[in-house]
């Protein structure tokens, strides 16, 4: 494979460590991570529970600080930014999706998405974002009237409505069965293909690696391997 030019790199880390000190005991959540996420790619992060995946994603997304090492988003160094600058970075560039959807129960799907579009500089209309995730017919439903998979797709619509350059997803299908999980993955896959949104997905379900451009395996706070898929499966071809 041809080496890619540096400009293709969206996130880069160099020697990132994260140490949690609880009393006398030090836990190395990350023990020296050098990583690159490439423009337009969908990367799957695999590895056992406790191997450091969430910690890394939170540092990339500016939700947390590294203990040591350096982190760049394109030309911008995140390391050393204060919380206010990190908040601006998140707002301008990053969409997050977590295992639990964090929707406002008293608001409809459309209103949940509008919470974000009301404050973003160049947002999609909530209807457009919900249409992209296949929920154009559920605009006025409340979270309690939707399945877990539908609620997660509302959360995805909310994340993409501000047109972020990157989507960081921490176990987006973790609370879903395989069938509804596939619909969530299809939404992520579609966004990646149509908008070229650079996407990172943490998952326990190893089969999901088959839809990725690139698969990074974590072990004990380190990267154990990086693989590039020559061919990718569509989410509906994946079962777990
Ligand atoms: P993964 O996402 O791969 O399951 P995490 O990044 O959540 O792994 O956790 C990596 C390690 O860091 C684990 O040993 C975990 O217990 C520890 N850890 C994570 N967050 C904290 C915290 N806030 N305080 C103390 N230890 C933590």
Q: What is the 3-state secondary structure (H, E, C) of the chain?
A: CCCCCHHHEEEEEEEEEEEEEECCEEEEEEEEEEEEEECCCEEEEECCCCCCHHHHHHHHCCCCCCCEEEEEECCEECCCCCHHHHHHHHHHHEEEECCCCCCCCCCCHHHHHHHHHCCCCCCCCHHHHHHHCCCCCCCCCCHHHCCHHHHHHHHHHHHHCCCCCEEEEECCCCCCCHHHHHHHHHHHHHHHHHHCCEEEEECCCHHHHHHCCEEEEEECCEEEEEEECCCCCCHHHCCC
220, part of any domain = yes
Q: For residue 1, is pLDDT > 60?
A: no
Interval between CA 39 and ligand 1 midpoint (Å) = 27
Per-residue pLDDT at 240: 78
Q: Any idea what the CATH number is for the domain that residue 189 is in?
A: 3.40.50.300
40, part of any domain = yes
Instruction: Give the number of the atom of ligand 1 that is nearest the alpha carbon of residue 221.
Output: 10
Question: Which residue CA neighbors atom 15 of ligand 1 most closely?
Answer: 50
Per-residue pLDDT at 90: 95
1, part of any domain = no
Per-residue pLDDT at 92: 92
Q: Give me the percent of the chain exceeding a pLDDT of 70.
A: 97
Q: Give the pLDDT confidence of 110-164 residue by residue, as tens digits.
A: 999 999 888 888 899 999 999 999 999 999 999 999 999 999 999 999 999 999 9
Average pLDDT of the chain is 94
Per-residue pLDDT at 3: 54
Q: For residue 81, is pLDDT > 90?
A: yes
Q: For residue 4, is pLDDT > 70?
A: no
Query: Span 163-172, mean pLDDT?
Result: 96
pLDDT band at 216 (very low <50, low <70, confident <90, very high): very high
Q: For residue 74, is pLDDT > 90?
A: yes
Per-residue pLDDT at 121: 85
Question: Which residue CA neighbors atom 24 of ligand 1 most closely?
Answer: 20
Query: Is 194 exposed, middle or buried, given 0-12, 13-18 or 19+ CB atoms closer than 10 A?
Result: exposed
Distance, in Å, from the CA atom of 222 to the CA atom of 33, rounded to the nearest integer, reads: 6
Q: Give the pLDDT confidence of 17-58 residue by residue, as tens digits.
A: 999 998 899 999 999 999 999 999 999 999 999 999 999 999
13, part of any domain = yes
Per-residue pLDDT at 15: 98
State the total domains in the chain. Answer: 1
Question: Which residue CA neighbors atom 5 of ligand 1 most closely?
Answer: 52
Distance, in Å, from the CA atom of 36 to the CA atom of 13, rounded to the nearest integer, reads: 7
Per-residue pLDDT at 194: 94
Q: For residue 6, is pLDDT > 90?
A: no
Domain limits for position 83: 6-237
Would you say 73 and 10 are in contact if contact means Cβ atoms under 8 Å apart? yes
Contacts for 137 with CB less than 8 Å, ≥ 6 apart: none
pTM over 0.85: yes
Distance, in Å, from the CA atom of 98 to the CA atom of 75, rounded to the nearest integer, reads: 27
Distance, in Å, from the CA atom of 74 to the CA atom of 52, rounded to the nearest integer, reads: 23
pLDDT band at 7 (very low <50, low <70, confident <90, very high): low
Ligand 1 pocket test target in 29, 46, 57, 204 with most atoms within 8 Å of CB = 29
Distance, in Å, from the CA atom of 54 to the CA atom of 37, rounded to the nearest integer, reads: 15
Residues with CB under 6 A from ligand 1: 20, 22, 27, 29, 47, 49-55, 218
Per-residue pLDDT at 22: 85
């Amino acid at each position: 494979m041809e080496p890619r030019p540096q400009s293709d790199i969206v996130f880069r880390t160099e020697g990132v460590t994260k140490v949690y000190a609880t009393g006398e005991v030090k836990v190395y959540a990350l023990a020296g991570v050098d990583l690159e996420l490439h423009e337009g790619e969908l990367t799957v992060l695999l590895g056992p529970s406790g191997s450091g995946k969430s910690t890394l994603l939170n540092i990339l997304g500016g939700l947390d600080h590294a203990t040591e090492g350096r982190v760049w988003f394109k030309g911008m160094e995140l390391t050393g930014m204060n919380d206010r600058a990190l908040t601006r970075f998140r707002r301008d560039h990053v969409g997050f999706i977590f295992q639990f959807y964090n929707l406002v129960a008293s608001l409809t799907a459309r209103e949940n998405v509008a919470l974000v579009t009301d404050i973003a500089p160049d947002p999609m209309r909530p209807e457009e974002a919900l249409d992209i995730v296949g929920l154009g017919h559920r605009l006025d439903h409340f979270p309690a009237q939707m399945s877990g998979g539908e609620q997660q797709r509302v959360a995805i619509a909310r994340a993409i409505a501000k047109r972020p350059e990157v989507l960081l997803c921490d176990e987006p299908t973790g609370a879903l069965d395989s069938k509804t999980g596939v619909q969530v993955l299809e939404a992520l896959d579609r966004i990646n293909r149509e908008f070229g949104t650079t996407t990172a997905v943490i998952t326990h379900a190893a089969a999901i690696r088959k839809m990725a451009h690139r698969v990074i395996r974590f072990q004990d706070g380190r990267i154990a391997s990086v693989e590039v898929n020559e061919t990718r499966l569509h989410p509906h071809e994946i079962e777990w």
